[in-house]
Copies of this chain bind each other. A is one copy, B any other.
Amino acid sequence: MATGQNDPERRERIIAAALDLIAEEGVAGTSHRKVAARAGVPLGSMTYHFDGMGELLREAFTRFSGGIVAVFEERLGAASTTDEAREAVADLVHHLSGGNQRELVLTHELYTLAAREPVYRELTREWMRRSRVALERHFDPATARQLDAMIEGLSIHRALETEPHDRALTVEAIARITRSPCARS
């Protein structure tokens, strides 16, 4: 019955399918059955490759957050001046809150898990840490931290708004956070 033939990319395919499904139907709507069907693997494969739904979810979100961080690092790494860095940050906000529901949805699914389970909080913590490190290539630590939070807030609000704010607002917010303090407040 079983063919036993190696399909080394099967694990990867399952993870990808899981991520797609989570994006479409949410963690709540994700089941072994649906993931298996989408990945084109038999149901029995699921618990063979992953030690239960928990492991699959963890792998999927590890992959996801890793991808987001990579974009983050790449864009900020490409900036060579502070102004370019500011532009990159604005790009990131609009990239994250743009048309792609996918990333928005997945981010919130992850945050929801993280809000309740420590294992996922580890993931978000690492994500935030690396974001900050990337920002610290251009800004001092306190500014980096504030900027990171600003990015978060702007992205979320932009994405959940029916009429998302335009770039000018984003740029202005970034400017305020990153400009050197005035001589007199």
Contacts and interface: CB of A to CB of B under 8 A. Distances in A.
Q: How many A residues touch the partner, as a band?
A: 35 or more
Given A28-B27, A160-B125, A169 B150 contact: no
A153 interface: yes
A104 B175 CA distance: 29
Contacts of A108: 108, 111-112, 114-115
Q: Is the interface of A mostly helix, strand, loop or mixed?
A: helix
A160 B128 contact: yes
Contacts of A74: none
Contact of A150 (B124, B149, B175, B182): B149
A133 to B, nearest CB: 14
A16 interface: no
Interface of A: 26-28, 101, 104-105, 107-109, 111-112, 114-116, 121, 124-125, 128, 142, 145-146, 148-154, 156-157, 159-162, 165, 169, 172-173, 175-177, 179, 181-183, 185
